[in-house]
Homo-oligomer: A and B are copies of this chain.
Amino acid sequence: MSVVEIVTAPFDAVAGIPDGATVMIGGFGEAGQPVALIEALLERGARDLVVVNNNAGSAEVGLARLIAADRVRKVICSFPRQTDSWHFDEKYRAGKIELELVPQGNLAERIRAAGAGIGAFYTPTGYGTLLAAGKETREIDGRHHVLEYPLRADFALIRAHVADEHGNLTYRRTARNFGPIMAAAATTTVAEVTRIVPAGDLDPENVVTPGIYVDRMVAVGATSGARDGALHTTGAAT
């Protein structure tokens, strides 16, 4: 039932994502972006996707390719406009893609709320701005807040570092970003990882995403340019 499924091909890892699905995609820029899973999703051909990511793709990699191929109906993100977000820019200006712009911290907290079973929350971020237009507000302890609702997904595609065979995950440096909260906010979470080790090989104190949040995994090796293995040889104090 909840035992994590380990597959050998990214194509199998993204099986069953239907047209119209809401898909969270981890990563901040390219750090933590599950490029192999996105490529597989592209190959699978699902359309009309609603994608939740911090950005709207860059250059010709991952999410940008999904957008270029007209697979994305709507992007929910905080920062679509980058110097190399030309595919999004073009689709947006052509009216071919919807944009829901969310302040980054509200995006993160809405995703966290979905995973944490919080019905809604009051946040000071965005109060008095266009991005809170029409939203319910409340003054609490003299401070103005906006009511924000959880953001859920059918699937989360994330990139982690080392996994154990129970689906416990660690991350590398700032590639952690949205992975842990997206894993908890989606009905089905798929992780691409550098490698999968036996249960007991990860220190339980250092697991960042417990396996309960992970449904499928595929090992794809290290990200181009990122080193695998122990980062901090002096980190022996714990």
List chain A positions with a Cβ less than 8 A from chain B: 109, 113, 116-124, 138, 140-141, 143, 145, 149, 161-162, 164, 170-173, 197, 200-206, 208, 230-232, 234-238
Minimal beta-carbon separation of A103 from chain B (angstroms): 13
Q: Is the CB of B123 within 8 A of A143?
A: no
Please, which residue of chain B has its CB at the minimum distance from the CB of A149?
B140
CB proximity of A149 to chain B, nearest CB, Å:
7
Min CB distance A165 to B, Å, is 11
Given contacts A117-B124, A123-B119, contact A238 B138 (CB under 8 A): no
Additional A-B contacts beyond A119-B140, A121-B121, A206-B238 (13; CB < 8 A): A117-B123, A118-B123, A119-B122, A119-B143, A140-B149, A161-B238, A197-B237, A200-B234, A201-B234, A201-B235, A201-B237, A204-B232, A204-B235
Chain B nearest Cβ from A236, distance in angstroms:
7
State whether B118 touches A121 (Cβ < 8 A).
yes
Q: Is A141 in contact with B119, judged by CB distance below 8 angstroms?
A: yes
What B residues does A121 contact at CB under 8 A?
A: 113, 118-122
Contact of A236 among B124, B141, B201 (CB under 8 A): B201
Contact A109 to B119, CB < 8 A, known contacts A231-B203, A235-B203: no
**Closest B residue by C-beta to A202:** B237
